[in-house]
Amino acid sequence: MPSPPTPAARRLGGASVVLLALAAATPLTVVTAVVPGAYADSGLLALPLLFAGLGLLMLAFTAGYTAMIRRAPGQGALYTFIARGLGRPAGVGAAWLALLSYNALQIGLYGVVAAAAAPLADVEWWVAAGACWVVVAGCGLLGLARTVWLPAVLVVAGIVVAVAYAVANLLDPAAGRLSWTALDPVHLTGVSRPVLGLLFVVGAFAFVGIETTAAYAEDVHAPRRSTARAAVLSVLLLTVLYAASSWAMAVGAGPGRIVAASTARGPELAFDLASARLAPWAVTLGRALVVAGLLAAMLALHHTIARYVVALGRERVLSAGLAAPRPASFTQSLAAGLVIGVCAGFDLDPVESLGRRLAIGGGLGILLLLLATSLAALLLLNRHPGDEGIWRRFGAPSASTIGFGALAYLAYLQFPGLVAAALATVLLGVLYAVVLRFARPVTYAGIGLGGAAVVVAPSTLTVPRPRSPGAHRPDRVNRLAG
Adjacent-strand bridge partners of 12 = 220
Average per-residue pLDDT for the chain: 87
pTM over 0.85: yes
Q: What is the pLDDT averaged over residues 428-435?
A: 95
- What gap in Å lies between CA 156 and CA 28, rounded to an integer? 10
pLDDT band at 225; cut points 50, 70, 90: confident
**Candidate ranges 86-95, 125-134, 381-390; pick with highest mean pLDDT:** 86-95
**CA quadruple 304, 307, 423, 399: dihedral sign:** negative
- Judge whether residue 319 has pLDDT over 90: no
Name residue 77's amino acid.
Answer: A
Query: Residue 38 in contact with residue 198, Cβ under 8 Å?
Result: no
- Judge whether residue 466 has pLDDT over 80: no
pLDDT tens per residue, range 148-185:
999 999 999 999 999 999 999 999 998 888 889 888 88
Q: What is the pLDDT averaged over residues 52-72?
A: 91
Can you give the pLDDT at residue 34?
A: 92
Q: 419-437: string of b/e by CB count within 10 Å (b at 16+)?
A: beebeebbeebbebbeebe
